[in-house]
Amino acid sequence: MTEFIPPGTRYVDLPSPFPMKRGGALDGARMAYETWGTLDADHGNAVLILTGLSPNAHAAANAGNPEPGWWEAMLGPGKPIDTDRWFVVCVNALGSCKGSTGPASTHPATGHPYGLDFPALSVEDGAVAAAHVVASLGIERLACVIGNSMGGMVALALLAARPGIARSHINISGAARALPFSIAIRSLQRESIRLDPAWNEGRYDDAHYPESGMRMARKLGVITYRSALEWDGRFGRVRLDSDRVEDEPFGLEFEVESYLEAHARRFVRQFDPNSYMYLSRSMDWFDLGEHCTTRCGNHDSDVRGALAAIAGAGLGQALSIGVHTDILFPLQQQEEIAEGLRAGGCDADFLPLPSPQGHDAFLVDIERFGPAVGGFLARLGPPAQLDG
């Protein structure tokens, strides 16, 4: 098991023990993060970015690491998330293998990787851990929390767990709960890993590694991250050159198959399989409405009530962005977020974008997402104005 930590990563120690929502606790756990820009004297210009399942905290180049980050086109001086104005913090997810404590980290009691001894992980655990990073930087209230994909779930859980922690919110291709289709896909991804003999109940190493399971899991994921429209426009029915066709029955024949294979092979040794499964399952379990079962006096999930409660706790402005071609986090989920926040008194907008690039559009379609995110942030007033 290997952790993949970029240079320039900084750390915050979590309280020890750190209790987990579904039982168990972590000792000696930490969260990885990076920052850009300068924090104002009143700490009122802080923006928190919460990521999808696989990214690290290195969203863009900075003094600690000049290499381009996974959101390089969106974050920096004069860019949509303008670090000349905003102090930006990006947190690596709890449970990841890229700096924050996760199944690939060393268990302090054994000196070996946690593996399946890592406690059951929930989106809510990641939200509370992110809140500790914010507090450690002396930030009492964020100007904005931005969540992408899984990070959109974590952002909502954070706003529910820490009422008033942010004045505004941008939810990008996120959701307030997992839907059956996405649960089914992630279940198949986990099954692909579990059925690889090399997984060995989570006890693998670099020499005996569930590569086949991870390849299949990643291919399934990539298929759902993009849209059928893009697959068709990008590859059509183009076949491989005859000298590139594998000499085996039912081997690779089409360009799209070759693309998926190459993409998966680049990924499989860069992300820990156990971390992949823990984070995947945390999304399946997430249902923001659970936060409202006691607070709102209900016994069943009440997503709308939970979103309204977040707004009522002081969230002044929000933007929920989705993509028409997203099959993994479909558009109605982002609309649900905006409507629920609006019901609680938040000035919340829903923005459906016509990008052909599916769920991953926020990573690549900067021409559409940049103006939307940058425009929202540019309209935010100073703290006193936002609190008004």
pLDDT, residue 238, reads 86
Residue 3's pLDDT band (cuts 50, 70, 90): low
Give the separation between CA 52 and CA 338, rounded to whole angstroms: 20
pLDDT above 50: residue 388:
no
Query: Taking a C-beta distance cutoff of 8 angstroms, is the pair 19, 121 a contact?
Result: no
Q: Which CATH architecture has domain 183-281?
A: Orthogonal Bundle (1.10)
**Tokens at residue 194, please?**
């579990």
**Residues 6 or more apart in contact with residue 137 via CB below 8 angstroms:** 35, 39, 46, 89
Nearest to 95 by CA among 36, 164, 26, 161: 26
CA 17 to each of CA 14, 28, 52, 108: distance values in angstroms, whole numbers, following the listed order: 8, 7, 26, 12
| Side chain identity at residue 380, one-letter code | L
3-state DSSP of 127-179: HHHHHHHHHHCCCCCECEEEEECHHHHHHHHHHHHCCCCECEEEEECCCCECC
Our answer to whether residue 192 is catalytic in this structure is: no
Domain layout of the chain by residue ranges? 10-177+288-379, 183-281
Nearest to 316 by CA among 340, 342, 346: 346
Q: What is the pLDDT of residues 277-336, one digit of tens each?
A: 999 999 999 999 986 554 555 445 699 999 999 999 999 999 999 999 999 999 999 999
Catalytic residue among 149, 173, 192, 258: 149
Confirm whether residue 234 is marked as ligand binding.
no
What CATH code is assigned to 10-177+288-379?
A: 3.40.50.1820
Residue 353 has phi, psi (to 5 degrees) of -110, 145
Tell me the sheet residues that pair with 353: 323
Return the SS3 of 205.
coil
Confirm whether residue 281 is marked as ligand binding.
no
Which DSSP state fits 301?
Answer: -
Give the separation between CA 321 and CA 335, rounded to whole angstroms: 8
Among 91-100, 234-243, 259-268, 355-364, which stretch is predicted with the lowest mean pLDDT?
234-243
Catalytic residue among 58, 132, 169, 359: 359
Our answer to whether residue 208 is catalytic in this structure is: no
Tell me the sheet residues that pair with 236: none
Give the separation between CA 163 and CA 346, rounded to whole angstroms: 13
Catalytic residue among 196, 287, 302, 326: 326
Q: What is the pLDDT of residues 209-261, one digit of tens each?
A: 999 999 999 999 999 998 888 878 888 888 887 665 566 778 888 888 888 89
**How is the beta sheet containing 46-50 ordered, strand by strand?**
10-13, 30-36, 87-91, 46-50, 144-148, 168-172, 317-323, 347-353
Our answer to whether residue 169 is catalytic in this structure is: no
